[in-house]
């Protein structure tokens, strides 16, 4: 029963058409997500606190190195490291999208069948749902960020343009990551042993995105390699746009690169989806 | 003295060690049916350890010393961290997950009814045997570090043996204390996530962290005693005072854990309640 969902006979022949993706759809799904996630405040908070451990470890290690090197390493002072890793926590939260592992469950439990019956491409629901989730997350992040700032004393000066670019860039990062995580997840349609691929991807992301360390501290060949991947756009660039010393040109170029990666990601999603969905066959009802 | 017992003889109460051994053996037998998991596990361990080594190299490309520890000494810390993480993932975490599920679903009844100590029983029902790969890898890394540092003598080796036993017991106790919270809160899954996050901090010696954080990593999550102190023993920087503190702290924590477990289990209502 391959692709049965797609080829269902239309209710009235001749009038079958796809529903337009309207802002209303996004608004409704996102609102439902906001309301749902506010109910799980405690769980969301514990998740966030567990997540904060990671950048604190990096921050302490690099602060120690900077102090041993006489106050800075690669031109970055402890205060600048603090600023980097505090903004890191917000960007990390913006990076949370549907995990590719979730596809396994979607397919195994047959929930894909229901999603295929919906009149718009299922990615729109995911984008809207997780985008809505970001609103409680950002609100809950504010006190966490404030506390970290008190503890670690960040130093940075922020221009209004940097702030504006940052606000666009975190959503750009969100979209880039959504697209590529979707593509990874779609691999589940071909093979069920996907965890090795996922782990390899996540490791590359950790090392090449600026999540581990500001990219300027990486060896040159790593930076060159990273420039050919979407990773810096979805992690390092948003952070640097706020706390780094990027010129206006560099800021705008960064946004353009983000837009490029969103387009590439969307293209790959569209292409992979067409083939993936043909491989789907629901078992049972 | 009656010749015939009036009631059938009660079955002999098996010793705790026998029971634990039998359960562990059964759990291993169940798990080794799934041999492909070994390959998956090896891949995953290789990626993780490779990343950790890359980070170490990166840090030491910018410095020659991290808070008084050299590259080779930090290899010892990393190796012990991987080793202990492997032990937790093999023996502790699967049992605690099952305990949480049992409390939630009321199936802890079956463990409570058995005529052995329940704490012992719930701690040895599951063994995720493939995670032992991490133990082997950890030993290899730590061994490399120790050989390169070359600062370990008989006293250090003895200190290490004591410290590593204390550390393992402490980590087990922490897990059990947290899991026992399930008797009150039911849903404790996120705590496991939290512990995993905090455990990553043990990859570096706790001496580099600021005071408040070092204290939390010593008392709340005993990473200092679990990883840093054994590593100190292997790099010739362990003092008798530290070791004595580790032993004393472990003793206190064991008693507190036992008491807390007892309170938790009295809260348990069972499946039919």
| CA atoms A217, A221, A227, A232: torsion sign | negative
Task: Indicate yes or no: CB of B200 within 8 angstroms of CB of A54.
Answer: yes
Q: Name which of A43, A65, A151 is nearest B190 (Cβ-Cβ).
A: A43
Q: Which residue in the block uniquely carries the two structure tokens 């050299």?
A: B70
Q: Is the pLDDT of residue A2 over 50?
A: no
As a whole number, the mean pLDDT across chain A is 85
CB A102 within 8 A of CB A186: no
The tokens for B178 are 């947290």
- Over residues B154-198, the pLDDT tens digits come to 888 999 999 999 999 999 999 999 888 888 876 666 777 777 788
Q: How far apart are CA B158 and CA B148, in angstroms?
A: 19
Q: How far apart are CA A233 and CA A29, in angstroms?
A: 27
Residue A188 per-residue DSSP state: G
Give residue A18's pLDDT: 56
Q: How far apart are CA A184 and CA A100, in angstroms?
A: 6
Give residue A145's pLDDT: 93
Give residue A43's pLDDT: 72
As a whole number, the mean pLDDT across chain B is 86
Longest distance between any two alpha carbons in chain B, whole Å: 83
Q: How far apart are CA A209 and CA A231, in angstroms?
A: 4
Coil, helix or strand at residue B217: helix
Coil, helix or strand at residue B222: coil
Q: Which of residues 61-80 of A touch B (CB under 8 A)?
A: 61-62, 64-65, 68-69, 73-74
Q: Residue A66: phi, psi to the nearest 5?
A: -60, -40
Nearest residue of chain B to residue A42 (CA atoms): B190
Q: Which residue in the block uniquely carries the two structure tokens 């690169």?
A: A257
Global pTM reads 0.83
- Over residues A121-144, the pLDDT tens digits come to 888 888 988 988 898 888 889 999
Q: Give the C-alpha distances (Å, rounded to integers) separating A243 from A83, A160, A257, B21.
A: 6, 12, 19, 56
Report the alpha-carbon angle A240-A243-A248, nearest 5. Answer: 65
Residues of chain A in contact with residue B203, where contact means CB-CB under 8 angstroms, are 57
- Nearest CA-CA distance, residue A263 and chain B, Å: 30
The tokens for B251 are 């003793």
Q: Which of residues 182-201 of A touch B (CB under 8 A)?
A: 193, 195-196, 199-200
Task: Indicate yes or no: CB of B63 within 8 angstroms of CB of A43.
Answer: no
Task: Indicate yes or no: CB of A74 within 8 angstroms of CB of B67.
Answer: no
Query: If you count them, how many residues does chain A have?
Result: 285
The tokens for A76 are 């970055």
Question: Which residues are bridge partners to A71 per DSSP?
Answer: none
Nearest residue of chain A to residue B217 (CA atoms): A53
Give residue A16's pLDDT: 47
Q: Is the pLDDT of residue A35 over 80?
A: yes
More confident residue, B60 or B7: B60
More confident residue, B86 or A110: B86
Best residue of B34, B57, B59, B216 to probe chain A, by most A CBs closer than 10 Å: B59
* Helix, strand, coil tally for chain B in percent (to 5): 75, 0, 25
Residue A39 touches chain B, beta carbons under 8 Å: no
pLDDT band at B14 (very low <50, low <70, confident <90, very high): low
Residues of chain A in contact with residue B194, where contact means CB-CB under 8 angstroms, are 46, 49-50
pLDDT band at B153 (very low <50, low <70, confident <90, very high): confident
- Over residues B209-257, the pLDDT tens digits come to 988 888 988 888 888 899 999 999 999 888 899 999 999 999 999 999 9
The DSSP string of B156-188 is: HHHHHHHHHHHHHHHHHHHHHHHHHTHHHHS--
- Over residues A38-88, the pLDDT tens digits come to 777 777 777 787 788 889 999 999 999 998 888 889 889 999 999 999 999
């Amino acid at each position: 029963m391959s692709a049965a969902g797609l080829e269902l006979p239309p209710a009235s022949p001749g009038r079958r058409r796809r529903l337009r993706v309207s802002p209303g759809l996004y608004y409704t799904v996102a609102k439902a997500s906001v309301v749902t996630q506010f109910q799980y405040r405690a769980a969301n908070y514990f998740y966030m606190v567990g997540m904060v451990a990671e950048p604190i470890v990096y921050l302490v290690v690099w602060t120690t190195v900077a102090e041993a090197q006489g106050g800075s390493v690669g031109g970055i002072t402890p205060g600048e490291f603090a600023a980097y890793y505090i903004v890191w926590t917000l960007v990390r939260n913006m990076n949370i999208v549907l995990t590719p592992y979730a596809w396994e469950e979607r397919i195994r439990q047959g929930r894909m069948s229901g999603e295929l019956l919906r009149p718009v491409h299922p990615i729109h629901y995911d984008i809207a749902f997780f985008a809505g989730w970001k609103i409680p997350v950002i609100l809950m992040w504010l006190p966490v960020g404030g506390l970290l700032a008190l503890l670690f004393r960040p130093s940075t000066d922020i221009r209004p343009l940097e702030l504006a670019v940052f606000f666009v860039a975190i959503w750009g990062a969100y979209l880039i990551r959504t697209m590529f995580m979707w593509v990874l997840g779609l691999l589940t349609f071909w093979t069920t042993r996907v965890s090795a691929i996922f782990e390899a991807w996540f490791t590359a992301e950790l090392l090449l995105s600026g999540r581990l360390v500001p990219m300027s501290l990486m060896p040159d060949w790593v930076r060159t390699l990273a420039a050919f991947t979407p990773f810096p756009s979805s992690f390092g660039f948003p952070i640097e746009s706020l706390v780094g010393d990027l010129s206006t040109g560099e800021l705008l170029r960064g946004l353009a690169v983000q837009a490029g990666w969103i387009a590439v990601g969307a293209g790959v999603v569209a292409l992979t989806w067409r083939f993936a969905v043909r491989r789907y066959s629901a078992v049972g009802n | 003295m009656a010749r015939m017992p009036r009631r059938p003889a009660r079955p002999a109460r098996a010793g705790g060690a026998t029971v634990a051994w039998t359960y562990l053996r059964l759990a291993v037998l169940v798990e080794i049916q799934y041999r492909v998991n070994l390959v998956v596990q090896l891949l995953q361990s290789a990626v993780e350890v490779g990343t950790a080594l890359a980070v170490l190299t990166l840090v030491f490309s910018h410095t020659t010393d991290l808070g008084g520890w050299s590259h080779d000494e930090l290899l010892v810390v990393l190796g012990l961290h991987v080793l202990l993480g492997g032990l937790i993932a093999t023996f502790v975490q699967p049992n605690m997950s099952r305990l949480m599920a049992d409390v939630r679903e009321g199936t802890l009844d079956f463990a409570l009814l058995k005529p052995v100590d329940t704490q012992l029983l719930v701690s040895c029902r599951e063994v995720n045997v493939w995670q032992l790969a991490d133990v082997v890898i950890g030993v290899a890394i730590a061994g490399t570090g120790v050989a390169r540092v070359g600062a370990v003598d008989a006293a250090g080796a003895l200190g290490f043996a004591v410290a590593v036993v204390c550390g393992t017991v402490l980590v087990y106790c922490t897990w059990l204390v947290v899991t026992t919270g399930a008797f009150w809160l039911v849903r404790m899954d996120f705590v496991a996530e939290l512990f995993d996050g905090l455990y990553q901090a043990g990859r570096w010696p706790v001496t580099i962290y600021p005071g408040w954080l070092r204290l939390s990593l010593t008392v709340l999550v005993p990473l200092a005693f679990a990883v840093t102190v054994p590593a100190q023993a292997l790099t010739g920087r362990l003092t008798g005072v530290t070791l004595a503190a580790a032993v004393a702290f472990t003793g206190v924590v064991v008693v507190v854990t036992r008491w807390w477990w007892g309170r938790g289990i009295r809260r348990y209502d069972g499946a039919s309640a």
